[in-house]
Amino acid sequence: MKVLVTGCAGFLGMHCAERLLSRGDEVVGIDNLSPYYSVALKRARLARLEARRGFRFRLLDIAAPGALKDLFCAERPEAVLHLAAQPGVRHSLVDPEPYFQTNLVGFGRLLEALRAHPVRHLVFASSSSVYGANTELPWSEAGDADRPVSLYAATKRANELMAHAYSHLFGVPMTGVRYFTVYGPWGRPDMSPMLFARAIVEERPIRVFNRGDMARDFTYVDDAVEATVRLLDRPPQEAPAHRVVNVGNHRPVALADYIAALERALGKKALLELHPMQPGDVKETYADIARLRAVAGFAPATPLEEGLAKFAAWFREYGHLA
């Protein structure tokens, strides 16, 4: 089928587009190549896609008035994988404007385009950060997600609610994917694998927040892609045709164990600099993936050691791009 992938030059966007192309789908990719982080890295990801048969790219800002409606008129996609967003929990505290524009205005413009040109399924990126102050672990989709502790998380929860309303009103099947700390080759330079790896190889201290008393449910990118594509192929059937689904590894890893695994992957010890908890952060994330198993027949299972070894191999060759 013809799939529109927004944010195709992003970390998850590139990997998902590659997977769709590999199975024979036609992919129309859009991205605004935002300078929030290395544009060289984004262009390198994009070059991988442009070398593939069945891929076409358009430089486009989803928040620009009329841009998405014109695109839908021209391309008529059958499904949409919406991964374009302004990411970053901490950055949302210091520069909120891109979060308003891309995550709220841009998502609203996408929903309006879908209202005029319905597709068989919209799958969009939400985030585990929507659970915020919810301390009832593991986090279940049926649990509290209405107490976000960062603007980024609030915009993602708003996306879920906007999608629910549009699905209810206009009948377009929609799935919001709550990703839990996706990592791997071609990852974002503002996320911990890249930040920590660069600090380790350059012999600089790693800033460890909450003095190391933290844990994360790490999801290897290939697992996240498998889950996403399976969900794309399985639109919700019952009205309102809207759902949210956790995508995580269901195995929280203590921060100290994560750093130790990265040290082994890189063959070098880390220097640690302990700091208090940062605003917007949470102590632990832990995904209940029963719904993912039921809907997609899949559960992420890549061990952290294996995933970090693959990341480290990529970092040695391509880390300079970030």
Residue 287: DSSP 8-state? B
The total number of residues shown for the chain amounts to 322
Q: Where do the H-state alpha helices sit in 28-141?
A: 39-50, 67-75, 91-94, 97-98, 107-116
Question: Which residues are tagged catalytic?
Answer: 152
- DSSP bridge pairs for 58: 30
Encode burial over 171-180: b for 16+ CB neighbours within 10 A, e otherwise.
ebbbbbbbbb
The answer to whether 15 touches 186, Cβ cutoff 8 Å, is yes
The amino acid at residue 11 is F
Q: Where do the H-state alpha helices sit in 203-289?
A: 221-232, 255-266
Give CA angle at 46 (45, 51), nearest 5°: 105
d(CA 223, CA 125): 15
